[in-house]
Structure 1
């Protein structure tokens, strides 16, 4: 097979693996859904935050640091710290979900008043809740936090991601750059689609739907956080 053919096959494999990976539910997905309630562009910002962690990770793996990520003590530390961060963020979201209703009704009332004055038909129901956000992190920051606190993100890059990175290096530095950009573009595409879909569907949501969405997203983060932290504890206990 020619060099060009080898590169195209490799990049096709990267797309297939990356797409299946980004569509798996996890902390980043939960954050994208939660922030998508407020902004249809949230997914783009979350993907940019994800890139802040991911591109340096790829560079470190290319330089041979994947063995560090495979160390059990490093993995345990990431699991404990990351799990604690996710539990805190998720619990905060769940505990503050009740305030969504009052803020949502206020936004609807304001929207109805504005519509009455302009003939807009009172489409305030499609607006995001006003006031403090139950998930009080900018989407860019949320992308960084949910990525960096996920130990399975690092496990992926220490194993399958490392294999792809080394294959890209064998094909040349330009291919490594294309690989990194292509892999991240699948994150960008999925996160952007998800937040846009969530934001566009808000017109059909009622009070309970908003509460359920925030409770679900927060619950997902808490469960993943407990899972990650317990895995770290078990690793430490095994010595």
Structure 2
């Protein structure tokens, strides 16, 4: 049985990339925070994401999974989520160029990245779509395989893929920030911010108009 559990965790790890590697608000925030704060921003954003997913899993276990498929809830999430992404994107686009980028050993403001991870997760309609389909199917398979142990093996594999991908993105972004002084830094932040604004507008359009 333990071999099956290990293989299930490995499968969960690779399937987790189906959500982690899709370009979206969480990736954009990871890049922008890594430019400002360094490598540790990536894992902190993932921590916020894990908090959001844990809350969603609890709701699913409590029998509130029908909420995810509710058109009304989808419209509310799309509207509020889109507005939040527009606000975050606007804030990032207006970020001033720092006089000096923090070194890898210097303390950073942690709360902002964790909250960004939570916000970019819960305001993204595709976050719920993934959990209503792929995520929930793996949860049920884990229960069938080994009960709570199977569920935990899925979560370990899934969260490991998130942590691996966003840590990798954060690492290379933070290493490149030292070659992004002045205008180049400003352009990068503008690109991240504008992308989030357009993504927010798309969320609003796709959920409220279509």
Range class of TM-score, shorter chain? 0.7 to 0.9
Q: CA deviation at 1:128?
A: 4.8
Structure 2 spans left out of the alignment, 5+ residues:
104-110
Question: Which residue in the other structure is 1:83 paired with?
Answer: 82
The match for 1:60 is 59
Query: Separation in 2 of the partners of 1:53 and 1:89?
Result: 18
TM-score under structure 2 length normalisation: 0.87
Q: Which runs of 4+ in 1 moved over 6 A?
A: none
Separation in 2, partners of 1:93, 1:42: 15
Aligned equivalents of 1:9, 1:44: Cα separation in 2: 25
Query: Number of matched residues?
Result: 202
Structure 2 partner of 1:18:
16
Larger Rg: 1
User: Aligned partners of 1:26 and 1:218: how far apart in 2?
Assistant: 12
For residue 209 of structure 1, what is the aligned residue in structure 2? 184
Matched ranges for 1:63-142 at <5 A: 63-94=62-93, 96-97=94-95, 99-100=96-97, 103-104=98-99, 107=100, 127-128=101-102, 138-142=112-116
Return the alpha-carbon distance in structure 1 between the equivalents of residues 77 and 204 of structure 2: 9
Q: Following the alignment from structure 1 to structure 2, what is the Cα–Cα distance between the partners of residues 142 and 68? A: 23
* 1:160 maps onto 2:159 in alignment: no
> In terms of mean alpha carbon deviation, does 54-63 or 4-13 score higher?
4-13
Task: Give the superposed CA RMSD.
Answer: 2.1
Q: Which runs of 5+ in 1 are unaligned?
A: 108-126, 130-136
